[in-house]
């Protein structure tokens, strides 16, 4: 993520504002405090604008596939929207079967679904026993270990399973599923 533009720049401004507040470097005068509050609100609005694409392109978790005798495929999935663990269930037609438990961004008509594995995946957390969506936080190539972190609760986990898929993922050309 670059900190020179877009979401990276806006989130860095928020981190700096929070650090200033936590380390007692916040404005003391009432008018300075009001000005700083307005600046934080503007920055939060920038972050929301930068993240708006998530509402345009749903992220889906594959639960199951159903193939009819005629060869038509129906994907059973959960739509990852909102912050509630009860996710919307969907059953949608698709060109082919997809791996269970993988995450995809539905990029729109004619483009297909873009796989997020191995950068993101969903599984039951060994600590809290609930479904978590993990992202690749760090990758130690020398040790062959990936550090994963969950979006929901910030739980951390180490995995060597993802490393096997990272090399081939980095080398392949950018394509969507179904092409």
CA distance 120 to 104: 9
Q: What is the pLDDT of residue 104?
A: 93
Cα angle 90, 125, 135 (rounded to 5 degrees) comes to: 75
How is residue 133 written in tokens?
């969506």
Higher pLDDT, 68 or 167: 68
CA distance 34 to 31: 5
Which region among 106-110, 116-120, 155-159 has the lowest average model confidence (pLDDT)? 106-110
- Compute the average pLDDT of residues 95-110: 88
CA distance 175 to 143: 29
Q: What is the pLDDT of residue 66?
A: 94
CA distance 6 to 107: 21
How is residue 62 written in tokens?
């594959």
Which region among 55-64, 77-86, 100-109, 128-137 has the lowest average model confidence (pLDDT)? 77-86
| Rounded alpha-carbon distances, angstroms, from residue 121 to 16, 59, 161 | 30, 11, 12
Q: What is the pLDDT of residue 64?
A: 95
Q: What is the pLDDT of residue 77?
A: 94
Range among 8-17, 70-79, 149-158 rated most confident: 70-79
Higher pLDDT, 5 or 74: 74
Q: What is the pLDDT of residue 179?
A: 46
Strand 131-140 vs strand 120-124: parallel, antiparallel, or unpaired? Answer: antiparallel
pLDDT at 91 over 90: yes
For the chain, which residues make up each domain, given as ranges? Answer: 6-51, 56-171
Q: To the nearest 10°, the Cα dihedral for 113, 111, 152, 161?
A: 50
Model pTM score? 0.66
Cα angle 150, 125, 163 (rounded to 5 degrees) comes to: 65
- Compute the average pLDDT of residues 37-59: 85
How is residue 55 written in tokens?
């509402």
The mean pLDDT of the chain is 83
Q: Which of 175, 148, 172 is nearest to 162 (CA)?
A: 148
């Amino acid at each position: 993520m670059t900190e020179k533009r877009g979401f990276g720049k806006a989130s860095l401004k928020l981190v700096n504002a929070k650090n200033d507040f936590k380390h007692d470097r916040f404005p003391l005068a009432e008018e300075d405090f009001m000005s700083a509050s307005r600046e934080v609100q503007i920055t939060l609005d920038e972050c929301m604008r930068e993240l708006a694409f998530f509402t345009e392109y749903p992220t889906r978790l594959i639960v199951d596939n159903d193939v009819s005798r005629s060869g038509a495929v129906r994907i059973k999935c959960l739509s990852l929207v909102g912050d509630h663990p009860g996710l919307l269930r969907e059953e949608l037609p698709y060109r082919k079967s997809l791996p269970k438990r993988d995450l995809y961004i539905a990029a729109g008509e004619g483009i297909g679904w873009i796989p997020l594995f191995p950068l993101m995946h969903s599984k039951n957390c060994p600590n809290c026993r609930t479904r978590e969506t993990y992202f690749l936080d760090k990758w130690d190539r020398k040790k062959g270990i990936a550090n994963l972190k969950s979006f929901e609760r910030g739980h951390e986990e180490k995995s060597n399973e993802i490393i096997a898929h990272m090399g081939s993922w980095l080398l392949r050309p950018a394509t969507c599923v179904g092409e």
